Structure 1
Amino acid sequence: MAKQKLKIVTIGGGSSYTPELIEGYINRKDELPIEEIVLVDIEAGKEKLDIVGEMAKRMVKAAGLDWKVTLTLNRKEALKGADFVTTQFRVGLLDARVKDERIPLSHGVLGQETNGAGGIFKAFRTIPVILDIIADMRVQCPDAWLINFTNPAGMVTEAAIKYGGWEKTLGLCNVPIGHCSSAADKLDIPEKDLFFKFAGINHFHWHRVWDKSGKERTSELIDILYGPTQNEDDNHLKNIHSAEFHYEQIQHLNMLPCGYHRYYYIEDEMLNHSIEEFKKGETRAQVVKETEKRLFELYKDPALDYKPEELSQRGGTHYSDAACEIIASIQNDKRTEMVVSTINNGTIIDLPYDSAVEVSGVVTGHGFEPYNWGAFENAGARGDLQSMKGMEETVIEAAISGDYGAALQAFTVNPLIPGGTIAKRLLDEMLYAHKDYLPQFASKIKEIEENDKEVVTYVDELMKSN
């Protein structure tokens, strides 16, 4: 029997996305018997937590609800008795993302939040923290569900399940949501009348589409979106450049690519665009910092008791609403069809059973039931996917162990990072730059500081120019 009153805890409660999360709960007030929402953050995020937390309280009050909204910096205490825990934190805050982007780009190498060197370092900083959170949950809320939308979502989810032992973990991404709405719009068919099947890993998946009659519409969508007569840009992602895919390549795949495949399929154009942004001091992290400043100025308004439209410009819209729907579907056994990161268990034959995959399926009262994909027929996609998964597994190993050799291997395997001298130099620079958040690499970082003054000076000068 479902619990009558719910306690939901959000780690990273001071995030600019929190109003969307609160709106999602309010929209599902008849499905979610919420008693308390706890927003948790760290000391460095206290000011934002206070601002967005007060706004959350206003939103709940305006909706006529009696939910308790608690703000705290005490994670352990917050987790006590939680039914659901959502994670949306950023270790090192946006300043760390600036380093993830600017340091690689200064060498002509892609800097991006979840791809390339930046994505690897975000995983290095984040995975130890998710494991610490799970250690607290094991004591404070052993039966809670963990809904993760902290990036890189796939690797964080895999670490939580495989190394943290928290089987009740699901990872979320907003990208499939946009692809589904785009397909419905292009075909002029209601989304509910289409069937979508996604498979791959986070930010590296493909999908196919069928209509109610059972006819597959994938090839038709490829023609509409990427063919010679296309006249609209399909890139619904506000955080990446809208370079055009090569039509013949997508035809050969006979699957619709994830928007993030642009970084791999049209790498030169994406890289050149990022370098131009870097030269102008307009990397995505720098733009987001300015966007967040404006958002939090809005959030301070004591009259604002609803999610502002400006939040949709932040780039991660729909994450929070998807998290709310997962919670509602588990709580009520709604069996909502969604795309999540979960342990493979044979869903994709081409990948290890114990690795995380991002696939379509149904969210039930007992968790996620994936739709079987089987094997990838396209050899190119299969090879790319296996290589990327090997990279992810190596990143997770390095993040947990602090093994410098594993970190260098991950850099070498990643297709967006040149191998050899550049990979090692870039790795050393980023280790030094993020030293405050990488205790697992402390001995190697000390060695770099003592023996490689060129690396230290380069990073210090680069970040001064930020």
Structure 2
Amino acid sequence: MKLTVVGGGSTYTPELIDGFARLRDTLPVEELVLVDPAAERLELVGGLARRIFAKQGHPGRITTTQDLDAGVDGADAVLLQLRVGGQAARQQDETWPLECGCVGQETTGAGGLAKALRTVPVVLDIAERVRRTNPDAWIIDFTNPVGIVTRALLKAGHKAVGLCNVAIGFQRKFARQLGVSPADVHLDHVGLNHLTWETGVRLGGPEGEDVLSKLLSEHGEAIAADLRLPRPVLERLGVVPSYYLRYFYAHDEVVRELGTKPSRAAEVAAMEAELLRMYGDPALDEKPELLAKRGGAYYSEAAVDLAAGLLGGGGSPYQVVNTLNRGTLPFLPDDAVIEVQAAVGPKGTTPLPVPAVDPLFAGLMANVTAYEDLALTAALHGGRERVFKALLAHPLVGQYAYAEGLTDRLIAHNREHLAWA
């Protein structure tokens, strides 16, 4: 089995490598190729990756290359984890929206739209090259904004599934709080990427006992603290929202906070510099503890599980993925990309039935789905007016004066990445 990681020079990659090494019985990788245009980063990450495999006795071969076509040739699956524009672009995404009184964030709001506009054309080019080289390869997208990028891939007819680590993070936390194995926790997880709610927490599988009310009663304070939302809000909602919902439920509070502290991008850039320094140490043969603060917790377990399921080697029968709606949520278009539990196998993903969704959540999902449709149109075809309409539709923007100012700033800060600008 051959897997290729595009964006293999990312500081995330050792987390992925560690998972491949530990879970080799689930996903027996024979060859792993790390592809990245940044030669220096690729050399550092590739060296550590080989040492991790060697320490854990993994027999697989790890190679590195800057040649995308060579890297994806013969791959059974291609994982995408790239960041167009790097941390410098992220820094801009998190700052200029604040000038208009809107949330500055890398995956949602105006910053998320900027990332989508930079990313979708690049990802589609990569996918076309994968299809020319190996049309049977699965594409697993971890590149944000996952929902929009996955929708672009599926719209273009690629064999693609989107992956996020929010659900597996909740699964692990809830398992610890309940004193059970993560494998025993099944989430009733519904929404769009970075706009999701846990409407049930079941023990043993999709038909198991729902213990969500028990969790909220016994661990509500800890869950609320993790989400940085007041416990009474969770009690009134009756569900556990993803931490990204704080941008919607406490927008003005978040904007005030973001204006008084260094951006997350600045923190991550400093962290990345230190991680790369550590990766260059020939004595280092495991992922460093600092990597846990970088983000992407449990990404490796989720990626291994999904790849194993798609390639027929095992994995959990039900997994939270980003996939086509196809009637699962009747209030959304069939071609919307939703994030739900699905059966995963070599033929792809089939969403599990979802009970009727409370209008409190369905309304926001419908609003953001409309934005994502407009965002994808802007990413595919360009143009100031399309960017403006996408911003006007986003519930974190929603006013024409804000949308006008944000459109001007988005284009000004991203001209080098926008062919039409």
Q: TM-score, normalised by structure 1?
A: 0.85
Rounded to whole Å, the distance in 1 between the matches of 2:140 and 2:408 is: 33
Which whole-Å CA distance do the structure 1 matches of 2:203 and 2:27 have between them?
Answer: 32
Structure 2 residue aligned with 1:7: 2
Q: What SS does the corresponding residue of 1:34 show, helix, strand or coil?
A: coil
Q: Which residue of 2 aligns with 1:23?
A: 18
Displacement of 1:334 in angstroms is 3.7
Q: What are the within-5 Å matches in structure 2 for residues 44-443 of structure 1?
A: 45-162=38-155, 164-166=156-158, 168-207=159-198, 208-212=200-204, 214-226=208-220, 230=221, 232-234=222-224, 236=226, 243-245=228-230, 247=232, 249-277=233-261, 282-331=262-311, 332-376=313-357, 378-417=358-397, 419-439=399-419, 441-442=420-421
Contact 2:74 2:133 in 1 (8 A): yes
Distance in 1, Cα, partners of 2:210 & 2:355: 17
1:195–1:209 contact (8 Å) kept in structure 2 = yes
- Judged with a 3 Å threshold, the aligned counterparts in structure 2 of structure 1 residues 107 and 351 are, in CA distance, closer, same or farther, namely same
Tell whether the 8 Å contact from 1:14 to 1:49 is kept in structure 2 after alignment: yes
One-letter code aligned to 1:299: Y
Structure 2: distance between partners of 1:128 and 1:258: 28
Q: Secondary structure at the match of 1:143?
A: coil
Residue identity in the other structure for 1:291 = M
Kindly provide the amino acid, as one letter, of the partner of residue 222 in structure 1.
Answer: L
Contact 2:26 2:315 in 1 (8 A): no
Aligned length: 417
Instruction: Tell me if structure 1 keeps the 8 A contact 2:45–2:279.
Output: yes
Work out the CA distance in 1 between the residues paired with 2:132 and 2:387: 31
In the alignment, the residues of structure 2 paired with residue 251 and residue 116 of structure 1 have an alpha-carbon distance, to the nearest angstrom, of: 26
Q: Residue type matched to 1:406 in 2?
A: R
In 2, Cα distance between the equivalents of 1:353 and 1:235?
36
Q: Secondary structure at the match of 1:205?
A: strand
- Partners of 1:333 and 1:181 in 2: how far apart? 20
Distance in structure 2 (CA, Å) of the matches to 1:224 and 1:191:
18
Whichever residue aligns with residue 210 of structure 1, its letter is: R
Q: Indicate the percent of aligned positions where both proteins have the same amino acid.
A: 37
Contact kept in structure 2, 1:335 and 1:364, CA below 8 Å: no
Measured in 1, the distance between the counterparts of 2:276 and 2:347 equals 38
Given that residues 173 and 202 in structure 1 are in contact (C-alpha distance below 8 angstroms), is that contact kept between their aligned partners in structure 2? yes
1:252 is displaced (CA, Å) by: 4.2
1:381 Cα deviation from its structure 2 partner:
1.2
The equivalent residue for 1:38 is 33
1:350/1:375 contact within 8 Å kept: no
Shift of 1:9: 0.8
Contact 1:12 1:41 in 2 (8 A): yes
Unaligned runs of 5+ in 1: 1-5, 237-241, 443-466
For 1:209, the aligned partner's letter is: V
Question: How many angstroms apart in 2 are the aligned matches of 1:353 and 1:245?
Answer: 35
Q: What does the per-residue CA deviation read over 1:164-204, in whole Å, with 9 as the maximum and x for residues that have no partner?
A: 211x2111111111212222233334433333211110010
- The CA deviation string for residues 225-258 of structure 1, in whole angstroms up to 9 with x for no partner, is 54xxx2x35455xxxxx532462x4444332211
- The code of the aligned residue for 2:319 comes to M
Q: Structure 2 counterpart of 1:35, which letter? A: E
Distance change >3 Å, CA 233–CA 193, structure 1 → 2: closer
> Which residue identity is paired with 2:322?
S
Out of 145-154 and 344-353, give the one that drifted further: 344-353
Please provide the CA RMSD for this pair. 1.9
Contact 2:329 2:354 in 1 (8 A): yes
TM-score, normalization: structure 2? 0.94
- Measure the CA separation in 2 of the matches of 1:58 and 1:235: 38
User: Which amino acid letter does the alignment assign opposite residue 322 of structure 1?
Assistant: A
Give secondary structure in 2 for the equivalent of 1:434: helix
Letter in 1 for 2:297: T
Conserved 8 A contact 2:5-2:80: yes
What's the CA shift for 1:152?
Answer: 0.6
Distance 1:33 1:422 in 2: 51
Distance 2:386 2:185 in 1: 43
- Paired with 1:327 and 1:425, the residues of 2 have a C-alpha distance of 42
**In 2, distance between residues paired with 1:39 and 1:346?**
37
Q: Mark the structure with the bigger radius of gyration.
A: 1
Unmatched 5+ stretches in structure 2 = none
Report the residue type matching 1:408 in the other structure: F
Q: What SS does the corresponding residue of 1:276 show, helix, strand or coil?
A: coil
Contact kept in structure 1, 2:2 and 2:75, CA below 8 Å: yes
- Any idea what the Cα deviations from partners look like across 1:384-436, whole Å, max 9, x if unmatched? 11001101111011000103222111111112125222321221122111111
Give SS of 1:316's match.
coil
Q: Give me the whole-angstrom Cα distance separating, in 2, the residues matched to 1:438 and 1:224.
A: 50
Matches of 2:342 and 2:67 in 1, distance apart? 35
Superposition deviation, residue 214 in structure 1: 4.2
Query: 2:228 is matched by which residue type in structure 1?
Result: A
Does structure 1 retain, via aligned residues, the 8 Å contact 2:48–2:279? yes
